[in-house]
Amino acid sequence: MTSTTLTRPGTTRAVPTAALLTAGAAVGPLFLGLGLVQAYTRDGFDLSRQPLSLLTLGEHGWIQIANFVLSGLLALAGAAGLRRALRGGQAGTWGPALVAVLGVGLIVAGLLRPDPSMGWPAGAPAGEPETMSWHSYGHGVGAMLSFGSLIVACLVLARRFGRLGAVLSVAAAVATIAVMALPEVAISVQMVLGALIVFGWLTAVFVHVLIERNH
């Protein structure tokens, strides 16, 4: 089994590539799963108008912050595994790099919280705040990096797979863009639907690579 070796003073530890790929496969299920569970269990939270990012605010906001950061770290691990598994070619270089950008974006979005808005948490403005703080801007940048890198990754990694995989990868990118452009649909709903598509695609890619390595 191919492995990556991480060395610390006095210790040597091998991290199998399969473990790194498994970490990457877990990003979507963890991030969306934990986010949606919170959305439906936090009193007063309305996913039809309040984005999942707002869950970083309030009494239990640390849970969603940890969700962002841990998901980002898993994405970075997955990117390392993907780079080893997809050696050579543009897909093997840029695909893992884009997944790494996803990881950085998630971590940034978790550490830099958005401003209270859309009625969350209690006492927040009913709509968007009149002014945005620097950390709210930073959160937005992290979120855009995450979504943008995944959409581009769909197109880059399409070259790595067979005809069906290529078609599905391009379709995932197009569908995500189409969902984000839906008129008269709340941004909170657009983001969840878009995330379901691209994170589902990402999980499928990691699972495919894991299976491919075992044959």
Answer yes or no: is 98 within a domain: yes
pLDDT of residue 9: 44
Residues of the chain falling short of pLDDT 50:
1-12
Let me know: does 113 contact 65? Beta carbons within 8 Å: yes
In a domain, 214, yes or no: no
Whether 201 maps to a domain, the answer reads yes
User: So what's the pLDDT on residue 10?
Assistant: 40
Can you give the residue range of the structural domain that contains 34? 23-209
> Residues 1-33: pLDDT tens digits?
444 444 344 444 578 999 999 999 999 999 999
pLDDT value of residue 169: 96
Instruction: Note whether residue 187 is domain-resident.
Output: yes
Backbone angles phi, psi at 50, to 5 degrees: -110, 115
Total domain count for the chain?
1
Give residue 92's pLDDT.
Answer: 84
Q: How far apart are CA 21 and CA 11, in angstroms?
A: 23
pLDDT at residue 11 in the model: 40
